[in-house]
Amino acid sequence: MSFFGLDCRKKKEKEEERHLRANDREFNLTFQYATNAIKTSKYNLFTFLPMNLFEQFQRIANAYFLFLLILQLIPEISSLSWFTTVVPLMLVLTATAAKDAIEDFNRHKSDSQVNNRQVKVLMDGQLKSEKWRNVQVGDIIKLENNQFVTADLLLLSSSEPLSLVYIETAELDGETNLKVKQSLTVSGDMGDDIETLAAFNGEVRCEPPNNRLDKFTGTLMFKEQKYSLDNDKILLRGCTLRNTEWCFGLVIFAGPETKLMQNCGKTTFKRTSIDRLMNVLVLWIFGFLALMCIILAIGNGIWEYQKGFYFQVFLPWPESVPNSAFSAFLTFWSYVIILNTVVPISLYVSVEIIRLGNSFYIDWDRKMYYPRSDTPAEARTTTLNEELGQIKYIFSDKTGTLTQNIMTFNMCSINGKSYGEVLDFAGQRMEITERTPKVDFSFNRLADPKFVFHDHSLVEAVKLEILEVHAFFRLLSLCHTVMPEEKEEGELLYQAQSPDEGALVTAARNFGFVFRSRTPESITVVEMGETKTYELLAILDFNNVRKRMSVIVRCPEGKLSLYCKGADTIIYERLHPACKTLKDVTTEHLDEFAGEGLRTLVLAYKDLEEGYFEDWRARHHAASTALEEREEKLDELYEEIEKNLQLLGATAIEDKLQDGVPQTIEQLAKADIKMWVLTGDKQETAVNIGYACNMLREEMNEVFIISANTAEDVREELRNARNKIKPETIEAEPIFEVKQPKNKSAVLPEDTVEGEYGLVINGHSLAYGLEKSMEVEFLRTACMCKTVICCRVTPLQKAQVVQLVKKYKKAITLAIGDGANDVSMIKAAHIGVGISGQEGMQAVLSSDFSFAQFRYLQRLLLVHGRWSYIRMCKFLNYFFYKNFTFTLVHFWYGFFCGFSAQTVYDEWYITLYNLVYTSLPVLGMSLFDQDVSDRWSLEYPKLYQPGQLNMYFNIGSFIKCLLHSIYSSLILFFIPYGAMYDTMRDDGKDLADYQSFALLAQTCLLIAVSIQLGLDTAYWTSVNQLFMWGSLAIYFAITLTMYSNGMYLIFTASFPFIGTARNSLNQPNVWLTILLTTILCVLPVVAYRFSRTELRPTINDKVRYKVSQSKHAPPPQATRTRIRRTSSRRSGYAFSHAQGYGDLITSSRYLRKNMATFSPRSKTNAKQPGTVLKTYRAVKDTVVDKTL
């Protein structure tokens, strides 16, 4: 049961295996499986106050101030009123609680919105509408088109042929291309028969809840038959049902046990490196405070023993003080109260205000607003702003983050001629912009209106009926596994298994070769307005080894032809020798295409003789039905027929990057930020995008590919790579000690490398690289490289890579992604950034910052991050300076007041110093200061490097601040003390009294720290001016008011300094003392900064000097055109393609022979249960046999 939101049930034992029975809630409840309700909130109405206060008092500073408050309530030791501590403490607690309450309220709203969605559940023999939260494991639910998948389901049946369903996994991996899932034959037989589904009592045994999105193992026991279950039969929560009228599913995992929620990981409280350093410094300060209190307490004991004991006639000891030792003990605690201003609670209030203000700047930045989706940038947390200015490693997803997952047909080479470029009258290449005239496809009524092409010469070649051009597009319209859907006459929609194929078939469609429909034995194409039907005789399917695909067709005239497309290196090996000249020209074009970052593909064909094909076909049938070595025999036959091909040309597809990605990565690289790409895509895809993004370049010394399949081979490849990069690290290599003290890891040193290198590693090799015995070897090699790309990685591996860098590198990490598979990585990094948009919001919900486009990352880091870091460092340095100086004056005064714990300042001044007199000026600097403008920050990315090295606030700068404070406090105490000693007013009256000295000392202090703030401020605004001069004016106004006769008469006990202000501040020697003290305080600072700027200028000093010399802001960054260059070829064929799809298409019972088109949403097909089930059995048997 739950009591006040707290789970009071007995803790469930770790689940080893999931066992459930369909339509049997009573049976399933015995296992205490989670319901489908999710809970991401922390508090409820009853637990908020106690839990929040408990969390807040776990912070050492809050607990310390609570302890001070208790001390101030003890009369014997309290030398300050209780309100000096309780007011700021209450302010901090209230502000933090309000912020936590708002954040948790938003979580409650989000949870409620999801939990209250409606879904149809099969209960008591009928479908009932239920809320998601009430769905339980073992329930059968019905999903309809465009609905979110409610929980992790075992697909039972669907409206589509072969019990297929089409799902979009954008919420999980950011990919918008549809994926296909299939149900078992035995459950597919049930269709949408409610009675049959209600009677279904199959038992599932499967793996326990886990976060592996790409793997599922289990069995279904039904009617004493056991059936194997794998990931192809599972629909995961977070997916969306597309192009499928309906489907039924059995709930396997629900709520927090779904793979989506398992990938969300545990939310940890992230703290910045400055926070962690401050905690260490606060402990040091406590030690320093204790040391000062001990010194003063000892002094009190000695003074009371030597002087005070004989002074009791005039000033007797309290009855509670028996001797000087006890007096020293009480004095110690009195000085703890007085000197507590070394760590004032206003420090934490100010830090929160500064972070909140800098977060608003991110939210309000119109240059990070994406108008197409109406998405502004959002700082989802307010505690990590300054960490944005210290990033050293960026870990990025690829699909949806760097790319748009949209393929466009950009260029091609046909019979030795390149198409796609736009040339001017002089034959010079022109840059393609939005104003460049587009090709008019109005001659083709079936053209896709969204398709864009700019080279008019290709359309002219098609219209002129050049044979090679027609053959080129005929191949593209025939050689593929695309499914067409025609809702209305002429409105074609292609369902492609990979976006590459969709782009190629769409290109052929627009150039007059329209793929219209298909059956298992034919393909219908509209060629230049004429409908032709080709007999489909065979599909030689794609796989990762073949890297090509072929079809064998008989044209309407009766001629047999084989059309093939694939990777250039593979196709070239199979060309007829007569193609050598054409091959050389095409190779030049391929190099140019690859140099543009395009994905290339080579097309070839071959005419077949009837007799040979019939013989080959018979042998192919025998091989496809063989029980042993079936794959090997089929491969031999494929090799045999795919020889002596005639080259047609090549295609060049652009995997469209998000706008500004290459420029952003280039800017970040100049800021010495290392970029690692962690993607689930294949190696070819990731490498190609690496080149397109300028992460990998031809100019690199070498790009290492790590793809070994054993631990030793992986180790050897890593060591060989490191040996080539820096041989001396291998020759004189001490074995790095991995065994570390508990909770403490060694830091790997930075290796300086000459040249630039890249590293590409596959998922299976990475699994070995992340093992304990090899993680240091992998990390050392990877960190020597400029770019690291990890392919085929799981969500868990993404998080492990981030944690590995955090463990062994003293560096701040940032992870950026857009899908649920990136959530664990986002949560593992110091900073998590989510890309928001059409691909889903799962990553955004788990992120610290979010925006719509990757290009905004450079502004987030180089502008907002850098400014936030500089502002916070300036604030802390100044804040510690002013408070150390303030407190140390008390310390020096102790030696002149008999160590009696008397305050040197007026009590009201002590209360208002941090809250009123110095709070607004320092906040003004910390919220508005900027060393250079945003344009200059982007123009000089190297300005970012000091933050990575943590140069502006560290232990060294803190010690300098302490020494500066000691010097200033000595000046601020002894100069006024010497000036006031035995001093007479100009009317002959005595000026050297305690109250006059206190006023002089506090006035000198306030003016000196104000001028110091002015020296620290680099960017003055009207707000800064108002805060600075306004605070000084408020000080004099309050001082003159509180020290007036009227306040004394009304509140005699509270305002004893009657007339002190007017009597002291009208004396010239007082103002002369203030001037002298101020000059002596700031003179060393001015001299030091001038000397450093002249002798050892920093990058900031150099850029600021250049800014001061420049009359204008830097020009906006020009949109650079892509430089044409050649490159090693990188085939992009069918990166998302899966083996076996050709078998589905050519299955004789997959589609009805007489159907005109195939539609995943076709109601006609859905109403043919007999046909569907026969088709299902036939194809499943084939797939299972091939798998075996």
Residue ranges of alpha helices (H) inside 573-679 are: 580-595, 610-624, 630-641, 661-670
**Nearest alpha-carbon partner for 902 in 295, 343, 296, 288:** 296
* Residue 151 neighbours by CB under 8 Å, 6+ apart: 36, 132, 135, 141, 237, 251, 252, 253, 254, 255, 258
Q: Are strands 2-3 and 164-168 parallel, antiparallel or unpaired?
A: unpaired
Q: How many Å apart are CA 1161 and CA 243, to the nearest integer? A: 5
Report the SS3 class of residue 197: helix
Q: How many Å apart are CA 375 and CA 370, to the nearest integer? A: 5
Structure tokens at 393: 């490693």
Number of CB atoms found within 10 A of residue 786's CB: 19
Q: How many Å apart are CA 605 and CA 563, to the nearest integer? A: 4
Distances (CA, A) of 129 to 89, 126, 135, 558, 1153: 51, 10, 10, 57, 39
Q: How many Å apart are CA 6 and CA 168, to the nearest integer? A: 36
Q: How many Å apart are CA 836 and CA 374, to the nearest integer? A: 11
Structure tokens at 846: 């788990």
47's torsion region: left (phi>0), alpha (psi -120 to 50) or beta? alpha
Q: How many Å apart are CA 891 and CA 139, to the nearest integer? A: 73
Report the SS3 class of residue 960: helix
CB-count exposure of residue 266 (10 Å: 0-12, 13-18, 19+):
exposed
Question: Which strand (E) or helix (H) includes residue 201?
Answer: none
The amino acid at residue 449 is P
8 Å CB contact between 79 and 71: no
**Nearest alpha-carbon partner for 793 in 758, 769, 757:** 769
Task: Name the catalytic one among 397, 681, 822, 1143.
Answer: 397
Q: What is the CA radius of gyration of the chain?
A: 38
8 Å CB contact between 881 and 961: yes
Beta bridge partners of 7: 2
- Extended strands (E) in 105-245: 118-123, 126-131, 140-144, 152-158, 164-168, 179-182, 203-206, 218-222, 225-229, 234-235, 240-242
Number of CB atoms found within 10 A of residue 1089's CB: 13
Secondary structure of 133-150 as H, E, C letters = HHCCCCCEEEEECCCECC
Structure tokens at 423: 């040339």
397 is catalytic: yes
125's torsion region: left (phi>0), alpha (psi -120 to 50) or beta? left
* Residue 165 neighbours by CB under 8 Å, 6+ apart: 155, 158, 180, 181, 182, 183, 235, 241, 244, 247
Report the SS3 class of residue 701: coil
Secondary structure of 444-456 as H, E, C letters = CCCCCCCCCCCCH
Secondary structure of 437-485 as H, E, C letters = CCCCCCCCCCCCCCCCCCCHHHHHHHHCCCHHHHHHHHHHHHCCCCEEE
Tokens 């990777």, located at residue: 567
List the catalytic residues: 397
